[in-house]
Structure 1
């Protein structure tokens, strides 16, 4: 997708909290801000407008 694989990995390899939308580490099992356990992986592709 991009030229810079390391930068892209650092930006996109995150988990997003379904309650407060906080960015969390890839290996997180609960949100760092609110403690919610339902996390989703950050979308790798941009959504069409």
Structure 2
């Protein structure tokens, strides 16, 4: 199946974004004061979901 290169690049960028947000999410959860990171965690999850 042939995929339009523009769509392929878009999918790759979205997957890279999702992975970066998940890495940040995981790092936030390891912080000493997780409550302080709540907004960052929420934003990371929303962004990762959108990218997925």
Task: Please report the TM-score for the alignment, with normalisation by the length of structure 1.
Answer: 0.31
Higher-Rg structure is 2
Query: Which structure features the higher share of strand residues?
Result: 1
Task: Identify which of structures 1 and 2 has the higher relative contact order when contacts are C-alpha pairs closer than 8 Å and 6+ apart.
Answer: 2
